[in-house]
Amino acid sequence: MTTPSSSTTDPVLSVRDLTIRFKARGRETPVVHGIDFDIHGGETLALVGESGSGKSVTSFALMRLLPDARHCTIEGQVNIGGVNLLELTERKMTSVRGPKIAMIFQEPLTSLNPVHRVGDQIAEAIRYHRKMTRAQIRDRVLELLTLVGIPDPERRMSAYPGAMSGGMRQRVVIAMALALEPDLLIADEPTTALDVTVQAQILELLRDIQNRTGMAMLFITHDFGVVAEIADRVMVMYSGRIVEEGRLEDVLTQPRMPYTQGLLSSVPRLEDAGLRTGALGTIEGFVPTAGNLPDGCSFHPRCPHARPGVCDTAMPALEPHGRPDHPVRCLRIEDIAASDMEDLSV
């Protein structure tokens, strides 16, 4: 897929300085630290990182699904169609969810009510937002079930979620998200609980729908194998900050942040099947909790390239290195690049 040029098209979504803080026991804890990004029509931006990096909380902030102001503060700008969603009342936000921005959640069983037929659940948003007759709504539900590849949609629309497989339930959730033809679809780990065959089918389905409709997509995952199949651009997130960003091919072939390198080294490669290439790469340790971040670069306690007195003193800025559209957050990026070149010349 090709990425639209930001110079010729306005982004569907423009996020600036998004900051999220949770409040508890009289204390505010930052969980997302001033992130910026744009997504254009027809483009898929993958947001990648381990659990606890801040990916899902970012998506919930975009949808305005986080707790109210007594428990959570959201600052910055989230612009769709020239409107900052963070300034809308909840009533106005309900008119944006669905037609403008929709979301596929991680686990379909948490998105579907087990005591209501799937057809009724898909129809609910259509009935709320569109002036359509009962027959027109039914036809639209059948159209959506057909679009997402569910066989025998006439029968399936009367089924309950518990009578369907995991892959079928995920297709129903996708149908619900697409019911009002949103400009932006947020897919939060939509294939995590599925086997690899169904996962491939869901990714192909999302690509096909995107090609038909031209919608923008924010795809959240921890799996670079999935990223390689679906994304145009990639943002890598760690401890609530973007640490590397770039075009898919640049990030996959020239990862510069040690965290990105570690994530990629942990992915099995088909071309290595049957070869003695050694154990998969690992990243030692765990993502720090939001309220207990280390000084300096948040990744330095786990980083094989970290240097005392350098990486633990200041938070590095997200700055371009090489390509202007490939910024990296690392104080030792030049030293690491020089070391890599020396290794290649041996």
Q: Give the pLDDT confidence of 202-236 residue by residue, as tens digits.
A: 899 899 989 988 999 999 999 898 999 999 999 99
Q: What is the mean pLDDT of residues 73-98?
A: 95
The per-residue pLDDT of the chain, averaged, comes to: 89
pLDDT in tens, 285-342: 999 999 899 999 999 999 999 999 999 999 999 999 777 899 999 999 888 765 553 4
- The predicted pLDDT at position 126 comes to 95
Would you say 82 and 95 are in contact if contact means Cβ atoms under 8 Å apart? no
- Contact call for residues 301 and 335 (beta carbons, < 8 A): no
pLDDT, tens digit (0-9, with 9 covering 90-100), for 102-135: 999 877 778 899 999 999 999 999 999 999 999 9
Domains identified in the chain and CATH numbers: 13-100+182-345 (3.40.50.300), 111-181 (no CATH)
Provide the pLDDT for residue 280.
Answer: 73
Q: What's the rounded mean pLDDT across residues 72-78?
A: 96
pLDDT digits (tens, 9 = 90+) for 180-205: 999 999 999 888 777 888 888 889 98
State the Cα–Cα distance between residues 254 and 234, nearest whole angstrom. Answer: 12
For the CA atoms of 21, 26, 27, 33, the dihedral, rounded to the nearest 10 degrees, stands at 10
Whether 3 shows a pLDDT value over 50: the answer reads: no
List pLDDT tens digits, range 244-295: 999 999 999 999 999 999 999 888 765 554 455 556 778 999 999 998 999 9
Report the pLDDT value the prediction gives residue 276, as an integer from 0 to 100.
54
Give tens-digit pLDDT for 33-50. 999 999 999 999 999 999
Beta strands in the chain (DSSP E): 13-24, 27-39, 44-48, 72-80, 83-84, 101-104, 184-188, 216-221, 233-238, 241-247, 319-321, 323-328
